[in-house]
Amino acid sequence: MPDPAAAVEPLAARLGGTAESFAAAYGAPVAEANRASGYVAYRPLPGARRVRVFYVEDRALVVRLLSKRARGASLDDPDPAHWSLDEAEALARRFVPADAECGARAVRGGVVHAVPQPGAGGGGRRGGLPR
């Protein structure tokens, strides 16, 4: 079901969106920017222990999600809280611009990447940020 707010502002609470739009969607930050990392933390989402956003000139440049795996556990060790590729993609799609389209998955160097569709989505924005 399409998000009605996204029809009005495809970047609201997504990459390229403002801090105000994140606060409207997820509530006030639970922790202000850490001086070392620059991330602002928001309350967790179902399936995610942490949601952190890094802003540049009041626009979300990076959204970092952490699973509910045990703290200090190696990423190489199996953990029931690890996301499948489908679960990770579903969580990530909440934060890409609403009009963005991704292509097939590609594996390079053991890392899975979404392959962007040339000319698709982003409303003509370069790098997903408004001009």
Q: What is the pLDDT of residues 20-50, one digit of tens each?
A: 999 999 999 988 766 667 789 998 888 888 8
What is each CA distance from 40 to 7, 13, 47, 126, in whole angstroms? Answer: 26, 13, 19, 24
The whole-angstrom separation of Cα 48 and Cα 83 is 9
Contact by Cβ (8 Å): 52, 63: yes
Which pLDDT score, from 0 to 100, does residue 118 have? 53
Q: What is the pLDDT of residue 125?
A: 41
Residue of 107, 128, 104, 106 whose CA lies nearest to 117: 104
Output the pLDDT for position 59.
93
Q: Enter the pTM of the model.
A: 0.70
Distance CA(47)–CA(131), nearest Å, equals 33
Task: Kindly give the parts of the chain with pLDDT less than 70.
Answer: 1-8, 33-36, 110, 113-131
130, 116 contact by CB (below 8 A): no
> Token digits for 88?
């990770």
Question: Residue 121: which region, alpha, beta or left (left: phi > 0; alpha: psi -120 to 50)?
Answer: left
Backbone angles phi, psi at 49, to 5 degrees: -80, -35
